[in-house]
Amino acid sequence: MASLAGVSLSTVERIERGEAVTADLIDRVGQVLGYDAGYLTAPRTPIDPETAIEGFVETYEHLQPVTVAPIRMIPAIAADHHSVYGEVYWHDD
């Protein structure tokens, strides 16, 4: 990615770590990732909560709730010694 963006590997690593880099470098890497120049660095205008909620609802209103089983932690699985894949045997090495 660094070579495609025309930046050094250390620049990409600094971006990954959230360290300070210039807007130009962020734009170069962003363009390699498919973003328009300025998309990652342009100032953003805050929106009010009502507008944010409306946008959220418009984006996700087509989704339907799905019933799922609660996550079982390893002790609960070990307690009944079964899993969906068959017998489970716990031992200490």
Question: Quick one: pLDDT band at residue 86, thresholds 50, 70, 90?
Answer: low
Q: Are 12 and 2 in contact (CB under 8 A)?
A: yes
The DSSP call for residue 23 is H
Q: For 53-83, what is each residue's pLDDT tens digit?
A: 999 999 999 998 888 887 777 776 666 655 4
Q: What is the C-alpha to C-alpha distance for residues 93 and 90, in angstroms, rounded to an integer?
A: 10
Q: Is the pTM of this model over 0.75?
A: no
What per-residue confidence (pLDDT) applies to 55?
94
